[in-house]
Structure 1
Amino acid sequence: MNQEKKEVTILMPCLNESGTIKVCIERAKKLLKEHNIDGEIIISDNGSTDGSQTIAEKAGARVLDCPIKGYGAALQYGIEQAKGKFILMGDSDDSYHFDEAFPMIEMLRNKFDLCMGSRLKGDIKPGAMPLLNRYVGTPFITFMGKLLFKTEQSDFNCGLRAFKKDKILQLNLVTAGMEYASEMIIKAKLSGLKVSELPINFYKDGRGRAPHMQRWRDGWRHLRFLLLHAPGYLFMLPGALLFFTGLIILLLLLRGSFKIRGVEFDVHTMLTAAFMVIIGVQTFFMGIYAKLYVYTRGILPYSKRIIAILAKLSLEKLLVAAIILAILGMAGFLSAFWTWYKVDFKALDYAVTMRTIIPSLTLIAMAILFVFNGFMLSLLFLKTKYAGIMFE
C-alpha cells in the first residue's frame, strides 16, 4: 500500500449517495487545486448498493469499504486509513461545499487541533435544515454539551470539521453511530485540544430520498451519550441532592410535625424523606462506579484528583462508618421496641414511635449499603491499574 504522506485528506462517509457523490468530489478537487494543496480524497463507503463506489472511483477518489456499519464507524475507518496530516470531513450529500472550507484548513496550519463548522452562526440556506432541528434539537444538544462539559461550540452536530489526524486518533473515539460527532467534541475538550470554530454555509442536500438521520432516534443517542459520559451529573449530583434534601427533612421532623402555609408535614413525609436518603446514597455510589468505569476503560481522560479521592474510599473506612451507623440505628430501634414492650405490645401512637423507627431503620439501611458498596468498590479497586495508579 502506498504510504506517501499528504497534507490534507478530504474524507466523506458514504451510504447510497450516487446522486451527489460526484459533485462532492468535484468540489473537494476544486479546493485542493485552487489552493495548491497536496491532498487526497477518501470515500469511506458503508455498504452502498447504488453504485456510489464506482462513481467515486471514476471521479478520482480513493474508496474504502468500511466493514462496520454506522456513521462514526465509517469516519473512524477513513481517519485511520488517511495519508493526510490534516483531515477535512463532511457529508457526501452536497449539504457542505468543500470548496468553501479552506479557512478551516488554515486554522489547522495556525496551530489549532480541531476546527468546527457552525451552521447556526453561518448561513443556513432555505430547506437545508428542518425547523425543529434548527431551533430545538441542535440548540438543546449544544446547550447540554456546554452544561455538562463546558464546551464552547455553538453547533454540536455540525458535520463539517477539520482536524489533525494524530490528535483525533489519540482521543480513542469508539462510537459507531451519529453520536460520534458528540464524542469528538467532548473528548477534544476533556483532552485539552485547541479547538476553534468558523461559521459556514449549509445547503439543502442534493439527494432525492429521505436522509439517513432519524431525528428522534439520533437525537436521543446524542443526549444519551452526553449523559453517560457525565456520571457526576447523571448519578452523583442527583444522589447528593436526594440525600441532603431527605436528611434535612428528616432532621426537621425529628422534633415533631410542622406546617407551611396550612400544609402539615408529619411522619408520612418523614418516611418519604427516608426513602430519598437511601436512594440518594445508592445513586451516589453508582456515580462512583461509573467514574471508575469510564476512567479505567479509557472512555474519558482520567482525573488524577478524582481518582486520588476515590482511592481513599477503602473497604475498612466504609465498614467502620457502617458499624457506627448500625449501632446508632439499632439503639433507636431497640428504644422503640422497649417502649412497645412496656405497654405489653399493645397499640402505640404511631406519630410518636414512627418518629424514632423511621430514622433508625434509615441508619441501618445506610449501614447495609455501606457494607455491600464497600466490598463492591474493593472489588473494582483490586489490582486495577490505570494511568500509573494502583488500587489495592
Structure 2
Amino acid sequence: MGEGEPRGGSEEESAAGRDGTAHGPPLAEVVLPCLDEAAALPWVLDRIPPGWRAIVVDNGSTDGSAGVAAQAGARVVTEPRRGFGAACHAGLRAAAAEYVCFCDCDGSLDPALLAPMVESVRSGAADLVVGRRRPTVRRAWPVHARAGNAAVVRMLRRRTGVRLGDIGPMRAARRSALLGLGLTDRRSGYPLQMVVHAADAGWRIGEVDVAYTPRSGRSKVTGTWRGTWTAVRDMRSVLSRPPAPARPSEEAR
C-alpha cells in the first residue's frame, strides 16, 4: 500500500482549495474525524490556519458532512470502519505534510489554536503537544465526562509517569514519527494510545491550555454516561497492554 493511502477507505479530494497544495504539501494538516457534523464544519474549516490543509475523515455521516467539507475546500477521506481511532488513523495515513494535527470538528475546539502547538514541535521544544481542555462554561464538559478523563490521566501517570491534565483530542506532532509509533487502537483509546506509545518511546510531551466550548449537536462518545464508560473502558484496555517498541514507520505496510 502506498504512502498516504488510508487502509480500508476510499478517498475523494477537492481541487487545490484554500491550502494551495497544487504546489506541494502544506506545512501542516489537520485531521478532523467526522460523524454527522455538517452544522459545525463551516466554522471549523474557516478556522484552519492559513496555508494548512484540513483532512475531513467521514466516518459514516448521513447528514451530508462530506459534501459540506468538500465545498469548503477540505480534503475528504472516507473511512467505512466505524470508530474514532479508525477515522483518526485514516487521516494520518492520508496526510502528506511534515506536521499532522488532530482536532474534533464539532465546534468545541478552535483549530486556530493548533498553530503554536505545531511551532513547539517545529522548534524542538516538544515531540508531541496535547491540548488541555479548559471549559468556558460548565455545560461544555459534562461532569461524567470530566470524571472519566480524570480517572484516565491518573492511570496514565501510574503507567508512564507522564503528568497530563487531559487526554484531549487536540494534538500536534510530526507525521513520520506518529506513523512510527505503531498505533493499533481504532476506537476511543486511540488518543491515549498515542500518548502511551510516545511516552514509551521517550518523547517529550507538552501540554497547553485550549478553550473548550459547547459542541454543536450531541457527542457520540462522552455525551452520555454509557458513552463515557465505553471510552474509559477502551482507554483502560490500552493501559493494560505491555509496552511495545516503536517501529520506524508503517507506511510500507
Helix, strand or coil at the partner of 2:27: strand
1:26 aligns with 2:46: yes
CA gap of 1:95–1:189, structure 2 versus 1, over 3 A, is same
Contact kept, 8 Å, 2:144 with 2:228, in 1: the verdict is no
Alignment RMSD = 1.8
Specify the SS of the correspondent of 1:43. Answer: strand
Within the alignment, does 1:179 sit opposite 2:200 as a pair?
Answer: no
SS in 1 for 2:89: helix
Q: Is 1:222 aligned to residue 235 of structure 2?
A: yes
**Deviation (angstroms), 1:3:** 9.3
Number of positions where the alignment pairs a residue of Structure 1 with one of Structure 2 = 220
Task: Please say if 1:143 is aligned against 2:154.
Answer: yes
User: Which residue matches 2:138?
Assistant: 126
How far apart, CA to CA, are the structure 2 residues paired with 1:116 and 1:141? 15
Pick the aligned partner of 1:114 from 112, 123, 128.
128
CA distance in 1, matches of 2:28, 2:59: 22
Percent of aligned pairs sharing the same letter: 26
CA distance in 1, matches of 2:184, 2:158: 23
Cα distance per residue 1:201-259 (max 9 Å; x no partner): 1111022xx311011111111112212x14xxxxxxxxxxxxxxxxxxxxxxxxxxxxx
Given the alignment of the two structures, is residue 301 of structure 1 paired with residue 215 of structure 2, yes or no? no
Say which SS state the counterpart of residue 104 (structure 1) adopts. helix
CA-to-aligned-CA distance 1:263-304 (integer Å, 9 cap, x gap): xxxxxxxxxxxxxxxxxxxxxxxxxxxxxxx7xxxxx128xx
Q: 1:185-196 to 2 correspondence within 5 Å?
A: 185-196=195-206
1:15 aligns with 2:35: yes
Give the greater-gyration-radius structure (CA). 1
Q: Mark the runs of 5 or more structure 2 residues left unpaired by the alignment.
A: 1-12, 14-21, 222-226, 247-253
Q: Is the Cα–Cα contact under 8 Å of residues 4 and 83 in structure 1 kept in the other structure?
A: no
Answer 1 or 2: which has greater helix percent: 1
| Structure 2: distance between partners of 1:125 and 1:84 | 35
1:205 matched to 2:225: no
CA offsets, 1:26-60, max 9 Å, x none? 111xx22xxxxx32111011111110000001111
Change (3 A) 1:3 1:144: farther
Runs of 4+ in 1 over 4 A off after TM superposition: none
Q: Give TM-score scaled by structure 1 length.
A: 0.54
Question: What is the CA–CA distance in structure 1 between the aligned matches of 2:127 and 2:54, rounded to whole Å?
Answer: 20
State whether residues 71 and 178 of structure 1, in contact with CA within 8 Å, keep that contact through their aligned partners in structure 2: yes
* Aligned twin of 1:262: none
Larger RCO, structure (CA 8 Å, separation 6 or more): 2
Give the Cα separation in 1 of the matches to 2:67 and 2:122: 33
SS in 2 for 1:9: strand
C-alpha contact 1:191 1:301 (8 A) present in aligned 2: yes
With 1-10 and 192-201 compared, the bigger mean Cα shift is at 1-10
Whichever residue aligns with residue 127 of structure 2, its letter is D
Q: Aligned with 1:6: secondary structure?
A: coil
> Structure 1: which amino acid aligns with 2:80?
P
